[in-house]
Amino acid sequence: MPTNNKINAKREHSFYQDVIDYFDRAAKFTKHPKGLLDQIQACNSLYRMRFPIRRGDKIEVILAYRVQHSHHKLPVKGGIRYSLAVTQDEVKALAALMTFKCAVVDVPFGGAKGGVKIDPKQYTEVELEHITRRYTAELIKKNFIGPGLDVPAPDYGTGAREMAWILDTYSAFNPGAIDAAACVTGKPIHLGGIRGRTEATGRGVFYGLREAVSVAEDMKKIRLTAGLEGKSVVVQGLGNVGYHSAKYLQEGDAVIISIAEIEGAIYDPKGLDVDEVFKYRKESGSILNFKKAKNIKKSSQALELECDILVPAALENQINSENAKRIKAKIIAEAANGPVTPEAEKILEKRGVLILPDLYLNAGGVTVSYFEWLKNLSHVRFGRLEKRYKELVNKTLIDSIEAAIGTNLSSESKRIILHGAEEADIVNSGLEGTMIQAYHEMREKFLSNKNIPDYRTAAFVNAIDKIAATYLSLGLFP
């Protein structure tokens, strides 16, 4: 994932307004009263803060935000990003998207988002710790964090390290709070994190794409065969989401023909080895000049390559009205938040491009964050209580089968049957089931009304209906 904004073109207009426009377009396909729609649409709480930190012999004032978009379900949930591109408009937009994203995948949270306006590369680890702990203290003062109130997570520019600092700060302010670990997700495993969280968003992208291309009827409309095998893929961004999306797509027999990053892009029609590219960039600082791959000087040019699937996994606004007409992909899989602008979407849809929206496709992260939150509240690792018991039961079953048929099962069959589910197995299974179910809910909504123009609108309609049902069940609206 890029670490500055050169890869990101100037926004055509407000990101938050884009989300509102998507909402309004979808709301026309519902029958809910205007007051209820207004409540679902609005950002409920916005905390804009400034706080000082010491850098050497100077004082620097940091600007930061936390937005809670919807309180229809608590806690609210959303990542914290560290970036110079952080604005109030962006944080509001991402918080709103999180509300609807949670509803799409049936995660019982309201949406939230946080942002600290810094370039983390320009600060030492000690300075970043001070910023993170002070930001957390500000959230605590206003009741903007807590296991039942607001649960942050990692996002662009943050990771498990920052989440550990947040947990420690929250625990210091709340001594004896038995559920303190549930105040934040994306933590290191030894602090209550969950196996599978790091790769969750990328794995969710893979599950969603795999399900979409498995429907032969839909693939025929865009002149593709069903299945991932042999599909050519371009991935923009080799950060956490881009790397894991590309890795799992490659393991699913897709061919990664190009990877783009801030320094440029590389192309090989025969396919790139994702792990080797990742390792090469880590060692050299660049993906350019990788083995026999062709260098592409401008990262944005990779988006315009001939391919079956384009996976923008960097920042928002990557495909806009300026370059949309040159996009040749048949499927655009939005692994990032808001990578396709509304103007670009109109151009692409007229050409029959299938867009799998961020509202659905990158919901893997919050889904597994939900699993981590549940783990922290239950105070037990998934699989710990039943793993050994299930292995013993399965061994008894194998012995009985072999005795009945008079021969031994293969070693591989025994291995699969005997394996008691580990935490990662349970997490990945839950994520896979979630993405499959949500995809077909979105597709069915799209097919049920010929006036719904695309999957994004269908996903918004589903989300609005689910949130409205929560308010109506509480008797808050007639």
Report pLDDT for 217: 95
Which helix (H) or strand (E) element contains residue 132? helix 125-141
What per-residue string of b and e applies to 43-54 under the rule 16 or more CB within 10 Å gives b?
Answer: bbbebebebebe
Active-site annotation holds for 113: yes
CA contacts within 13 A on the Cβ side of 357: 28
Task: Name the active-site residue from 113, 117, 187, 445.
Answer: 113
Contacts of 478 (CB under 8 A, 6+ apart): 33
pLDDT at 1 over 50: no
pTM: 0.90
Tell me the backbone φ, ψ of residue 285, rounded to 5 degrees: 85, 5
Average pLDDT over residues 98-111: 97
Q: Pick the range with the lowest mean pLDDT from 332-336, 404-408, 463-467.
A: 404-408
Question: Which CATH superfamily does the domain covering 45-191 fall into?
Answer: Leucine Dehydrogenase, chain A, domain 1 (3.40.50.10860)
Domain boundaries, the chain: 45-191
Report pLDDT for 12: 54
pLDDT in tens, 186-219: 999 999 999 998 899 999 999 999 999 999 999 9
Report pLDDT for 383: 85
pLDDT at 3 over 50: no
**CB contact at 8 A, 197 and 423:** no
Average pLDDT, the chain: 92
**CB contact at 8 A, 366 and 343:** no
Average pLDDT over residues 37-45: 96
pLDDT at 11 over 80: no
pLDDT at 7 over 50: no
